[in-house]
Structure 1
Amino acid sequence: MQKVPTVYDVAELAGVSIATVSRVLRKPHEVADATRDRVNAAVLDLGYVPSGSARSLAARRAGAIGLCLPDFDGIDDDPALAPVTFSDGQVPTVLDFPEDVELGDNLYISEVMLGTEIEAWQHGLAVTIAVARGSRGTDIFDNLAGRVDGIVTLARTIPDQQLAHIARRVPVVVLAGPRAGDEYDHITTDNREGMRVMTSHVVEAHGVTDLAFVGGPADSPDDDARFRGFCEALRTAGLPVPSAPVARGDYTRVQGRSIGRRLVADGGVPRALVCSNDQTALGVLDVLTGAGIRVPQDVIVTGFDGIDASEMSRPRLTTVYQPMRDLGRAAVDTLLHRLRDTQLPPQTRSLPVRVLLRDSCGCLPAQAA
């Protein structure tokens, strides 16, 4: 194995000091053209790559932020998911996943990740992603906290006690959850109001009095806010207010189909199904259309998020659009403010939402409320 070139090798080949090499790499505009060209030529000739660890020590910054996400893919510590092995240099022919996993199912997460990466890139930062999967999640998060300048995480991803421990080392920004007696920065969207307006539209514009709410995980603060908005709209309209959603899923299309099949089999499909997110709504829509139930003529279906798939479904899904990408960008922006001034009081930022009226509630063409 060849010796890894160092900054000293570059300086010797270019005939300059190591301080000049460092200046060329960090602030090239401050160095004369001829000197800069010699250093860059030496870097290319030697194949030199600056040490990230050395830069971090010098700047007292890792140059990276951590993004901690919940395990939405269903892959856990299942012994059936044994490590992939190679023999004689051959690639294994099959990688086995549980049957109920739909890869690429969580487009909300994808948009948040993209927004995080874009904002980090604009500030010259890398993003390190960790997933709370299985029994190793705790160790992974602790390890991540020692390698980044701050952490962005979705609410309920990291246990409260562990999150408090991590926050003693690096700043933490929590996405999609209200403040609950903590001192972290929070970024959320107006979930309650968005769902209130959506439900009021179904009741007032379409004259529906038989509605049911299809919820997500019981511990989701977003789902709780959306259900409260749903109940508020019913209460205002003088309609019966349920104590709980008619069914709960895990925000995936797979679970939406399962809920839809159960409602159809039980004969309990109401005039309108107000779903807590788009993926659930799309899964319900799959089952209803497959069973010959017309949407919106027989049943109105609505969602929440505004993922691209909601625009491409047939019929197109009426939904509450939340700025998912902006959530990620706002989280990084807030984290950078926190790094610049650690004495700032905890910040809470709520981003606005829009109700998109489409085919699945009977509104044509698409409108925004």
Structure 2
Amino acid sequence: MSKAATVYDVADRAGVSIATVSRVLRSPDAVRPVTRERVLDAVAALGYVPSGSARGLAERRTGVLGLYFPGFDAAEDAPPLDALSAADSEAPPFAIVREEAEVDGRHTSMLFLDEVLRGAELEAWKQGFVLMVGVGRDDPDRSTVRDMAGRVDGLMVLASSVPDDVLARLARRIPVVVLSGPPRGDHYDHVTVSNAEAMAELTRHVLAQVGDGRLAFLAGPADSPDGLQRWAGFAAAVVEAGGSLDDVTVRRGDFTRASGRQAAEEILAAGTPAALICANDQMALGALDVFRGAGVRVPDDVLVTGFDGIEAAALSQPPLTTIRQPMIDLGRAAVQVLARRLENADADPVVARLPLQILLRESSLRPA
């Protein structure tokens, strides 16, 4: 391999100072077009690649942002893979498989997080950062997020995925942005949505359809701030309409389609409700699976609603009424807020609240 070009080589070829080269690479709009083009031509001709480690030492920055997820899927659920053995294998390059109708729900809870991740990746690239993603599977002491904190300029975490005491210690070292969940009087930047308000409005829509019919609610995990907010919105609307929460059949799932199936079976065992309101789309889709198999018609016999607005909700039979979260925008906004904090560490904490959309579809519209 030939010797790698240095910033001095670029400066010498372009006839400028190394400070000018650095300015072109970091803030090209701040340099005159003629000079900028000369430097960029030299960079291209020499194949120069800036040293991230050297720049980081000079600026005390890594150029890396961290995104930490709790990891709903267990690592042991992943099927075994030996890629090195596969490289030498003479096995056929493909197989024809008749896919079963039953959908594996182990990893479907990641759909929301997948979209948030896409948004964060996009915005990090636009802002000139690299994104590091950590998943805290079976990580009771949060060693993953602690390790990440030493490698990034700032950190984005899903609400309640890191204990408060650990998060406070991390925030003394680097900026922290909390995704989802309500601000709790802390000093972190937050990117969130109005879970309770939107769920309350959706519940009013359902109540207008079913009158005094029995309701069922499929809640999320007890430690999910979003899930708790959605229950609060539902409960407020029921009480506001003069109903009693004692008359509501409540079951809890873990945001997966499989847990939605199990809860729906338990709900049906107590009799078909007039409506089932779910804390997310995946559990609602699981309930639709069970109702279809049991011959319970949606929306004729029971109304069903979800929350999140994943693509599968629009493709279900019938199409699922839901509350669409701006999932990609949540990731993008978190990066924007974190980048702002890195530029101004003393700015007041920000609460960026993104709008939701209530999408009324066939699953919640009682036939005339």
Q: Same fold (TM over 0.5)?
A: yes
Q: Deviation of residue 64 (structure 1)?
A: 1.9
List aligned pairs for 1:1-369, cutoff 5 A: 2=1, 5-7=4-6, 10-11=9-10, 14=13, 19=18, 22=22, 25-26=25-26, 30=32, 31=35, 33=37, 36-43=40-47, 48-75=48-75, 84=82, 86=84, 90=88, 102-135=106-139, 138-242=142-246, 246-264=250-268, 266-362=269-365
* RMSD over equivalenced CA pairs, Å: 3.0
Deviations 1:13-64 (A, max 9, x none): 9596882665664566653755653442121xxxx53221112222322212
1:362 deviation in Å? 1.7
Distance in structure 1 (CA, Å) of the matches to 2:213 and 2:220: 22
1:10 and 1:262, CA in 2 relative to 1: closer, same or farther beyond 3 A?
Answer: farther
Q: Quick check: 299-308 or 23-32, which moved more? A: 23-32
Q: Per the alignment, do residues 140 and 35 of structure 1 end up closer, same or farther by CA in structure 2, a change over 3 Å counting?
A: closer
Distance of aligned partners of 1:149 and 1:231 in 2 relative to their CA distance in 1, 3 Å threshold: same
SS of the residue 1:187 aligns to: strand
- Aligned partner letter, 1:322: Q
Change (3 A) 1:347 1:21: closer
Q: Secondary structure at the match of 1:246?
A: strand
Amino acid at match of 1:90: D
For the residues of structure 2 that align with 1:297 and 1:33, how far apart are their CA atoms?
Answer: 67
1:344 partner SS: coil
Say if 1:333 and 1:139 are closer, same or farther in 2 by CA, change over 3 A: same
Give 1:235 shift.
Answer: 0.7
Q: Cα distance 1:141–1:253, how it changes in 2: closer, same or farther (>3 A)?
A: same
SS in 1 for 2:162: coil
Deviation at 1:90, TM superposition (A): 3.3
Deviation at 1:228, TM superposition (A): 1.0
Unaligned 5+ runs, structure 1: 94-98, 365-369
Amino acid at match of 1:110: D
Q: Partners in 2 of 1:226 and 1:74 — Cα distance?
A: 25
Aligned-partner Cα distance in 2 for 1:200–1:21: 61
Q: Deviations over 1:50-106 (max 9, x none)?
A: 221112222322212111111122325x8x97784745963698xxxxx96544542
Q: Is the 8 A contact 1:231 1:242 kept in 2?
A: no
Assess, with a 3 A threshold, how the Cα gap between structure 1 residues 243 and 139 changes in structure 2: closer, same or farther: farther
How many positions carry a matched residue from both structures? 351
Taking the aligned partners of 1:12 and 1:172, their CA distance within structure 2 comes to 37
2-side partners of 1:13 and 1:344: how far apart? Answer: 41
Gaps of 5+ in 2: 92-102
Q: Is the 8 A contact 2:303 2:366 kept in 1?
A: no
**Which deviations, in whole Å up to 9, do the C-alpha atoms of 1:224-283 show, x marking residues without a partner?**
11111111111111111149871111111121112223333x243311100001111011
Identify if the C-alpha distance between structure 1 residues 33 and 316 changes in structure 2 by more than 3 Å, giving closer, same or farther: closer
Letter in 2 for 1:63: G
Distance 2:143 2:306 in 1: 36
- Secondary structure of the 1:157 match is coil
Report the CA distance between 1:220 and its aligned residue: 0.8
Counterpart amino acid of residue 157 in structure 1? S
Could you report, residue by residue, the CA deviation over 1:278-304 in whole angstroms, capped at 9, with x for unpaired residues? 111011111111211100101110011
Q: Identity percentage over the alignment?
A: 45
- TM, length-normalised to structure 2: 0.84
Judged with a 3 Å threshold, the aligned counterparts in structure 2 of structure 1 residues 282 and 100 are, in CA distance, closer, same or farther, namely closer
Q: How has the CA–CA distance of structure 1 residues 256 and 320 changed in structure 2, closer, same or farther, with 3 Å as cutoff? A: same
SS, match of residue 307 in structure 2 = strand
After superposing on structure 2, the runs of 4+ consecutive aligned residues of structure 1 that deviate more than 6 Å are: 15-18, 80-83
